[in-house]
A and B are shown apart, each in its own frame.
Chain A
Amino acid sequence: MNAMLVLQYALSYAQIAMIIALGLSGWRMLYGPRAQDRVLAIDTMYINAMLLFLVIGMGNGNVFFFEGALVIAVLGFVTTACAAKFLMRGEVIE
């Protein structure tokens, strides 16, 4: 019974840590001096949200949070690739 309590506290700590990490990268997205800093911060926010979904799914015992995490990962990659291409060339598809 004691190990269950340890795992429960660990999952709560992981959720709080991922929320703090989301807040820190959101600060960098708001105050980043140039555009590439903001794009990097948005990419980090996607990854942190994906890990937060995984941890919430572990806490609930629900497998369906995994699919949300997968969708967030794919969207994060597409967003970062498009934004980097736009910063590089001025157009996304040429």
Chain B
Amino acid sequence: MSHLNNLSPIIAILVAVLVVLGSSLALLGSLGLVRLRSFYQRLHAPTLSYSYGALLIIIGSMMMFSLLEERLVVHELVIGIFMLITTPISLLMLGRAGLRRDRDAKLGHDEIVPPRISPGAGIEIPARDLSEYGEGMMDRRILSRSAKVEGQTDISTDEPGGSD
């Protein structure tokens, strides 16, 4: 590592602190992805590595290459701005897809594209119990209501306090 000898010691210590902090926060984000218990909790954990990990490592890299080449090197900012734009979009789409899939599984038309089921088709699929996939993934009222609907044909007894 001969190129590191051209750095001044203060900048070297500063870059070392930035890189260690950024990689530790990214490691914490992946650890949270493993440790948390529900999908909606797990959605928050990798944002540590999306925001803080990428930001600190990019700042350290910019500082180090600017001092090595003795000019202003800012091309890491492209990655930073790209991450800043694309991370909310992808996580928002993923969260909405998860909500849609969970609602379909709770209402009982899982694994079948919903517009293809007409109400009078006679297809009766029971609601799935999602409670082993995490906390708060299933409320018991929908399960009991679908069991009740199977018994009687009148669906007009809806509770006013909806389940969503």
Contacts and interface: CB of A to CB of B under 8 A. Distances in A.
Contacts of B57: 14, 51, 54-55
A90 to B, nearest CB: 5
Contact count band on B: 35 or more
A7 B89 CA distance: 35
Contacts of A47: 26, 46, 49-50, 53-54, 83
Given A4-B7, A8-B1, A44 B39 contact: no
Interface string B1-45: 101110101101101110110111011011101100001001100
Q: Is the interface of A mostly helix, strand, loop or mixed?
A: helix
Contacts of A69: 79
A88 interface: yes
Nearest to A6: B16
B107 interface: no
Nearest 4 CB-CB pairings of A with B: A3-B9, A61-B3, A10-B16, A14-B23
Interface of A: 1-4, 6-11, 13-14, 17-18, 20-22, 24-25, 27-28, 33-37, 39-41, 43-44, 47-48, 50-51, 54-55, 57-59, 61, 63, 66, 69-70, 73-74, 77, 80-81, 84-85, 87-88, 90
Interface of B: 1, 3-5, 7, 9-10, 12-13, 15-17, 19-20, 22-24, 26-27, 29-31, 33-34, 39, 42-43, 46, 49-50, 53-54, 57-58, 60-61, 64-65, 68, 75-76, 78-79, 82-83, 86, 89-90, 93-94, 96-98, 100-101, 113, 132-134
